[in-house]
Amino acid sequence: MTLRSTFLLCLLSVLPALFAAEPGDLGHWKDRASRVEIVRDEWGIAHVYGKTDADTVFGALYAQAEDDFHRIEQNYLVGLGWLAQAEGEPAVYSDLRARLFGLTGDIVQPVDDSKPSLAVGMAPAPWGALASFEAWEKQNTKRIYGSGGNSFVAAVEFGPRVRAKAIMAGGESGDPASPHFTDQAQRYVRAEFREVWFYPPDVSAHAQRQYRPGD
């Protein structure tokens, strides 16, 4: 079973409680939001607290939508086989695959030699590298761009207190205008991990914003 499948099974176990009300029941969603607290640390990472599992899932989905709603929309279109309606004829074959085999996860990002980029001195997993960074030459470009690998890497130490360090290839946000879009990119290149905050006092000490969904 893949990590994605495991996540979906866990998510499906709480979705009935999460979506028990009618979609138009605004009072229900306001009540749900009042039981959720989201704390953003200095890296823009969302720490979500809820009274129940369903509250926490709601908060996590809300935070993801804040960070990368475009990708959520695009993944939705890919999954339904409707991407060509938004992106035109080049996406037709992606839609055909989606309708034949289900979710494909194919999201092709444009690359441009004239845009800023970072050199990453890593190797792909088949060479025994961990973290893995894979690259291949795009058509009509002189540079070779990253196309796969581990966009998120974490090392966890289990003991009386859980400790972890992690790094992302770019940043927490999918919005190019956000300060957290590429604030971890240089760290990724240097393999310089950041601390992961598990416990409320640590989260509070590094909090930059604290709010509820809808605020």
User: Could you give the C-alpha distances from 97 to 65, 92, 105, 106, in angstroms and in order?
Assistant: 26, 9, 10, 10
- Distance from C-alpha of 100 to C-alpha of 198, rounded to nearest angstrom: 41
Q: Which residue has the higher pLDDT, 89 or 210?
A: 210
Q: What is the pLDDT of residue 13?
A: 46
Q: What is the pLDDT of residue 25?
A: 76
Residues 90-97, mean pLDDT to the nearest whole number: 71
Whether the CB-CB separation of 171 and 46 falls below 8 Å is answered with: no
Please list, in sequence order, all residues whose beta carbon lies within 8 angstroms of the beta carbon of residue 188, skipping any fewer than 6 positions away.
120, 167, 168, 169, 170
- pLDDT at 20 > cutoff 90: no
